[in-house]
Structure 1
Amino acid sequence: MSPVPKGWKTLDKDLSRISRIELATGSVARSIIGRAIAVAFLLVAALVAAVVWGAQPNLLLVIAATVFGSYMALNIGANDVSNNMGPAVGARALPMGVAIVLAAVAESAGALLAGRDVIHTISYDILQIETVTNTQGLVWAMLAALIAAAGWVNLATWVGAPVSTTHSIVGGVLGSGIAALGFDAVNWPLVAMIAANWIISPIMGGVVAAAILAFVKTQIMYQRDKLAAAVRWVPVLVAIMAGAFTSYLMIKGVDRLFTSASSAVPLAGLGVGCLTYVIAAPLIEYKARGMENRNRSIKALFTVPLIISATLLSFAHGANDVANAVGPLAAIVHATQTGTSVADVAVPNWVMVIGALGISFGLFLFGPKLIRMVGDQITKLNPMRAFCVSLSAAITVLLASWMGLPVSSTHVAVGGVFGVGFFREWYMKRRRQRLKTSQPKQAAFPAEEVRRRKLVRRSHFLTIVVAWMFTVPAAAALSALLFTVMMTFAG
């Protein structure tokens, strides 16, 4: 073979550099295009508000509120939805593009089909509405809260921290409410419960996820006949998931789908769970035929249930958390139209559509960053572990709703990911200790190797915990500042 001419090496290096420049240019272009589409969506939302509002008074105020409500919806899609689809993408059950499309459809369907017709506009009654007499001040306070909450969620997304959009809007309402109405207007016992939620939500989610993973390992993975154990237990887990989601949606009162008495909730959950088991059992048994009695086969049986659970999580999230974007906007529209303030207002259809589309656009344009972080960068996930996270989120939120605890779905889901990772760390450490006891002559791992074998990235853990702790106070401080500036310029 003849030697390669010297000049070709230079050409190869130049081509390599050109390829890297093309990749960098494409990355920058995608970022610019994404921002341009987001701005276009905000402009369209403003145009819709102008057309719908027409010649009524305070047109500019309603347009501004619509723009910032749309901006909040974009940020919910960019940040919050990662908790639903992140584990499925990290487990390689879904490619990123399919996950985004699936989540966008489910989120929009949840918001439009199951979103509440009537929304608590003062964010879980943070402000005692009976003390509000200055309607104009309330409108400015809601606008400041909306801007502050959206800004904080945007910052958290840029840093790479999944935060609670519910806590963000609560912090915004708290700050502007204090600035507008004073400390007496705040429901402090509820604020204390929300502060306790910072600890309750992730711990509950982590403990439940770890317990489910421990059950799966002992009852399926460590059995002699793994495949037979999986055929027996996976349909049960899928049925529990379906029943939990049904009960959760009924507790949340998805009025557009159905209304029911509280006594019917457990019966409906049990009924749907039993029906799901009847359908899932033969399907899983059929899929298991011909599979080898190996861990890889067991994990494959969890793939479809994981995709279904992630879709259900997105549907439930769209039904519940669209209120974080459209709630303050609906309050502003109602107060501007009627000159009165009430705790519950009907949400106009055009407002709900903007909220649903905003979440979907935010997911499409900016969601992949947080999806990768939740799915890939906290701990290593496979379909089995990711299903444990999704099932944990459904069960934990359901239990918390029954107990009246104001947990955050974001904290629960991310806590579940940490719970799975820390359980695996604990279990591996326990195995090493047993091995050391049974084989004392075997050399112990050096300290550096022990650190390298950590299964949860501590840097992400600290970043997320700090972001959670600062969400309410940061949003409150920013909202109070914005409200003060607004009132100064307003006269």
Structure 2
Amino acid sequence: MINLILILAVLFLAFNNGANDNFKGVATLYSSKTVSYKKALFWATTTTISGSICSIFLAKSLLKNFSGKGLVPDVLLLNPIFPISIAIGAALTIFIATKSGMPVSTTHALVGSLFGVGFMAVGNEFNFKKLTDAFIVPLLTSPLLASLCAVVLYYLFSTTRKKLGIKKESCLCLIEDSYAKINCNSFVSDVKIESSLTISSCTSVSETYSNRILGVSSQKIVNFFHFISAGAVGFARGLNDTPKIAGILLIITSVNSNWSLFAIALVMAIGGILNAKKVANTMSNKISAMNFGQGFTANLITSLLVSTASFNGLPVSTTHVSVGSIFGIGLVNQSADYKTILKIVTSWVLTLPIAAIISGFIFYTFKL
């Protein structure tokens, strides 16, 4: 019975992870109007599942890191209440953030839960040094590194584009206003339809790339690589997040780790399909306006950093890296919404203590 509760708690965490994280890789596709919301969501789901399956072979070290081993005495790891409290505490934290439309980090929530339960259980025996070195430092540095890389890479790509003679073209939008003018002086009213044209400047998503490279439209080339880079972020997210969640199940020796990874991937996908809309709107429309090339740059940075971290067993957050990349682009094109960024960073700061408090309380309740 206790094992069943643990499995359900982990799947609840996977569902909320999908709802909060699934759209982050394709946010730039949707914000730049490259594809529709449904197509972006389908691409995110497909690539995330692919990354989750590959994590069976490529990211086993993350599986061990998030089991709690090394943070608390091994005897505590054998107590099912320990992983159950972690899973429920992290899941509830992400659930609250998702309902608020805030893109928070599942990694951050898990770290907070590990700390809350571990400290509640063993007090000063908790390994604070490993928590800092293996978890906190990567989480803090990754968004800053992503922003810096995005700025540098964008300038590099922009310079290369200009040298190749590829120009950005903008448009003016002509909006026709029609209205009826009624003459009531006569017995039979005269209705006259008048119209006017209003000139309006378009947003950055209306920018397109002119010229051709080897006979192919440069705009089509950018769209293709933008689409592929968004898929790469989804793949990297699945590769990085799935083993973190599955690591909680390591206490159940009868559960095959490969099957648990597959089940978690499936539930993550369902969560993303059913409940990703609010976070998708925040990521796509409220951080920074981007054109096609800028979206490609942000995705490329995110996928490279998250994939590299996954292969090396580093628990970085796809959320932190993705938001950091998008914000870096926003700094360059001067479209960053600092008010939204402040809200997101505040939610990140609050994630760890909230998860710690919730999971610690759950552990204490179960223990009683």
TM-score if structure 2 supplies the norm length? Answer: 0.80
* 1:89/1:372 contact within 8 Å kept: no
Partner of 1:308: 228
Partner of 1:225: 165
* 2:239/2:310 contact within 8 Å kept: no
Give the 3-state SS of the residue equivalent to 1:171 in structure 2: helix
Unaligned stretches of 5+ in structure 2?
168-211
Do structure 1's residue 128 and structure 2's residue 47 form an aligned pair?
no
Task: Give deviations 1:131-188, integer Å, cap 9, x for gaps.
Answer: 2224553x20110000000111111111121111112112111211122233313252
Give the 3-state SS of the residue equivalent to 2:289 in structure 1: coil
Q: Provide the C-alpha distance between the structure 1 equivalents of 2:139 and 2:126, rounded to a whole number of angstroms.
A: 23
Q: Relative to structure 1, is the Cα distance of residues 284 and 164 closer, same or farther in structure 2, using a 3 angstrom cutoff?
A: farther
Structure 1 segments of 4+ aligned residues over 4 angstroms from their partners: 116-122, 124-127, 398-406
Q: Provide the C-alpha distance between the structure 2 equivalents of 1:126 and 1:135, rounded to a whole number of angstroms.
A: 7
Q: Indicate which of 94, 100, 121 corresponds to 1:180.
A: 121
The structural deviation recorded for 1:359 is 0.9
Q: Indicate which of 315, 318, 331 corresponds to 1:422.
A: 331
Q: Provide the C-alpha distance between the structure 2 equivalents of 1:115 and 1:80, rounded to a whole number of angstroms.
A: 20
Q: Provide the C-alpha distance between the structure 2 equivalents of 1:129 and 1:203, rounded to a whole number of angstroms.
A: 26
Q: Relative to structure 1, is the Cα distance of residues 301 and 224 closer, same or farther in structure 2, using a 3 angstrom cutoff?
A: closer
Q: Indicate which of 325, 333, 348 corresponds to 2:252.
A: 333
Task: Give deviations 1:278-305, integer Å, cap 9, x for gaps.
Answer: xxxxx963323xxxxxxxxx55431110
Partner of 2:95: 154
Partner of 1:78: 19
Matches within 5 A, 1:329-478: 330-334=249-253, 337=254, 347-349=257-259, 351-397=260-306, 406-425=315-334, 455-478=335-358
* 2:22/2:269 contact within 8 Å kept: no
Q: Relative to structure 1, is the Cα distance of residues 160 and 314 closer, same or farther in structure 2, using a 3 angstrom cutoff?
A: same
Q: Provide the C-alpha distance between the structure 2 equivalents of 1:364 and 1:174, rounded to a whole number of angstroms.
A: 31
Q: Provide the C-alpha distance between the structure 2 equivalents of 1:118 and 1:198, rounded to a whole number of angstroms.
A: 19
Q: Provide the C-alpha distance between the structure 2 equivalents of 1:160 and 1:317, rounded to a whole number of angstroms.
A: 19
Q: Provide the C-alpha distance between the structure 2 equivalents of 1:67 and 1:421, rounded to a whole number of angstroms.
A: 40
Q: Which has the higher strand share?
A: 2
The one-letter amino acid of 1:463's match is: K
The one-letter amino acid of 1:480's match is: G
* 2:62/2:244 contact within 8 Å kept: no
Q: Relative to structure 1, is the Cα distance of residues 169 and 401 closer, same or farther in structure 2, using a 3 angstrom cutoff?
A: closer
Give the 3-state SS of the residue equivalent to 2:215 in structure 1: helix
The structural deviation recorded for 1:315 is 1.7
Partner of 2:109: 168
Q: Provide the C-alpha distance between the structure 2 equivalents of 1:67 and 1:398, rounded to a whole number of angstroms.
A: 28
Q: Which has the higher helix share?
A: 1
Give the 3-state SS of the residue equivalent to 2:237 in structure 1: helix
Do structure 1's residue 285 and structure 2's residue 194 form an aligned pair?
no
The structural deviation recorded for 1:464 is 0.6
Q: Relative to structure 1, is the Cα distance of residues 126 and 354 closer, same or farther in structure 2, using a 3 angstrom cutoff?
A: closer
The one-letter amino acid of 1:476's match is: A
The structural deviation recorded for 1:485 is 0.6
The structural deviation recorded for 1:369 is 2.0
Partner of 2:197: none
Partner of 2:203: none
Give the 3-state SS of the residue equivalent to 1:177 in structure 2: helix
Q: Provide the C-alpha distance between the structure 2 equivalents of 1:98 and 1:318, rounded to a whole number of angstroms.
A: 18
Q: CA RMSD in A?
A: 2.7
Unaligned stretches of 5+ in structure 1?
1-59, 228-282, 289-297, 338-344, 426-454
* 2:104/2:319 contact within 8 Å kept: yes
Task: Give deviations 1:397-429, integer Å, cap 9, x for gaps.
Answer: 46667998653222111100000001222xxxx
* 2:68/2:114 contact within 8 Å kept: yes
The one-letter amino acid of 1:473's match is: P
The one-letter amino acid of 1:180's match is: A
The structural deviation recorded for 1:103 is 1.6
* 2:22/2:234 contact within 8 Å kept: yes
Give the 3-state SS of the residue equivalent to 2:34 in structure 1: coil
Task: Give deviations 1:451-483, integer Å, cap 9, x for gaps.
Answer: xxxx22222111110111122222112111110
Task: Give deviations 1:422-456, integer Å, cap 9, x for gaps.
Answer: 1222xxxxxxxxxxxxxxxxxxxxxxxxxxxxx22
* 2:288/2:337 contact within 8 Å kept: yes
Q: Relative to structure 1, is the Cα distance of residues 123 and 73 closer, same or farther in structure 2, using a 3 angstrom cutoff?
A: same
Q: Provide the C-alpha distance between the structure 2 equivalents of 1:91 and 1:153, rounded to a whole number of angstroms.
A: 27
